Structure 1
Amino acid sequence: ANYADQLVTGFTQLPANVTCTTFETYKAYANWDQQNSFTHSEHVVAPGGVLVRADDGSVTAGVFTNYNGQILGDGDHYLIEVRSVEAIKVLQPLGADTLLTVKKNPAWPGVAVTAYDFADQPVTEVEATAKDEMVSFEYCGNYRGHDIAYYCLTKSAEPNPEAYPIPQIPELIVTDIHWQPELPCTSDRVTFAATIKNIGTGPIPEAACLGVAFMLDGEFEPAFWAEPASVSLPAGATITLQANGGRQGAHWLATEGTPVVQAWVDKTNEILEINEGNNMFSKNMPPIDEGIEIAPGVRVPKVAANLALNQPITSSGATAPAYGEQMAVDGFINT
């Protein structure tokens, strides 16, 4: 990193569990939240991701799900953009092939996009389209058997074809359901939360009320809900909403069994989406029983009390061939 030998000149704790470390000519943002994304300017930083920017705009690097307002392909994308007067170099050391949008030099009539291999040799020129100052092209890690190291954007005398306008419509899905405590026992007060991701082509409307309904064991009517919240959710962004209301309060009083919890985002269809039929997600909870006390005031379910039971292990030592991995931790103290 170009800033590795620079002194730290500042540190700021930002909202939403994000920190900013200021170096002499760089700023490094760290998203410490493992569930929610972080939006900075026109980019969406993945949960647990980072963003590094040079003060003069010459370098932008990080882990993204949306870059320059363009949602990226599945998974996280590790991108590095290095800009100079003559060229713009874009590298993706990790990440799936994706449509990528980069801001061109305003002085360039058009942009030529060329893929290079790891020997810095040109492999092929790539078709690119333009809309205003933004240029879009397909970033592929391989072209006809050639591994691609990076793409280079340079000045072209010919304007690029105009990009076909893509409707800016959100698409909301539930990617996970969480609960606290993680291993509840009967009579514990359990709080539910759901992680929502916008996999559409545009953000939810600015004044939209984004809510989640929680149901247990196939019920249609919500038992709990995260009340509608006015939030910003660009394409590619994630947010976790916690239940704060319910038919009998915001918490579930755990009962014995193995319940299934469902989370339904935008159940009332207040937000126009590309597909209204994929807003629900289900997840099995761990078996719930009266538990056993493992410390004063601390209970865990009986099934979870033996934390090593049936867990993957590696056998070693003189007796390993005789007992093997399956019998090494089978719940019996005399094994």
Structure 2
Amino acid sequence: MSDITPVRRHSRFWLYAPFVLLALLAAGWSGIWGFARSKVDQELDAGIAREARAGRNWTCRDRNVGGYPFRIEVRCASLTLTSSRWGDEVKVDAGQAVAVAQVWTPGHIILQMTGPMLANLPQGRKAALDWKGLAASLHLSGLAFERFSLVLGEPVLTVTEAGQAAAETWRATAAEAHLRPNPQRFTNEGTVDLAVNAKGGVLPALEALIGNGQLADLDLQASLSRAPAFRRGFNPDALEAWRTAGGGLDVTKLALTKGPTRLEATGRIGLDEAHRPAGQVSAAVAGVDRIAGIKVGGLTAGLGALFGGRGGDSAQNNAAAGLAPLPPIVLRDGRVFLGPLRLPLQPLLPLY
């Protein structure tokens, strides 16, 4: 009689286990993402409500929170801000806006927006900002601001005064701005560092000062003290709180190149009691024959020495760079002075 050996059946558990585990992970991740989406929706509603109580009303048309599975994406078909904090109503309309953060780095938010941005400003002014491309990046640590960057491709800003048909237009081939809390001065002084760079710029006010028909490149580095005053927004209350707290804009570097013309400057700008820009700037120039129609070519070095132009190490650096010092540029009582000479420019208007 022959032996009959039973056939051993192999379990299929390990065949199906990976798929079951993957399904469980997917279900768990979907639950986590859905919870995060709900929290974002709640925080957006709470933030919009806080802004409304502060006099700023935001409208995100057709708001949608998506991005599953690895992003949180907030999308608005259009974005509108209406503010009553300037006395006259201020209204800003923009096109589609998108904010995106990866689930594993929620404190790094990428912003994109479609132009143009149209604004109705106080005293009947209107402004329109358009661009070929806009991208912004915001870094947060918890709720604390770490840094902000904005890059614009071919920006064009047009401002129209009330009752005037002609508009003033500023344009550039590229522009970018960066903000961050100053590591040494933010805790005690609330100081924020600012850097602005623009290439291929055309600015009518600058052309009126040193007109030569050339495009301008700008490099600005500055520090804004008492910056927490602007946590309540950019409005008269915030500006007044900033002014009374002794806030100012310390320009550590201003470099301007416009064809053969070069200018470098440092200084401090604030607001006077009439809410107009006020302060003093030390500057040195090269390739400038006239400033606002006043002939200065060949006289700048003598005038700078006579009326207290940049001296010391700055003077040596200027000489090495082929720059001649200007007399101090002073903003006082709503006027602009070059040493003792008042430049024939329009009076500086109060900001609020």
TM-score, with normalisation over the residues of structure 1?
0.29
1 or 2 for the larger relative contact order (CA 8 Å, sep ≥6)? 1
Larger helix percent: 2
Q: Which has the larger radius of gyration?
A: 2
TM-score, with normalisation over the residues of structure 2?
0.28
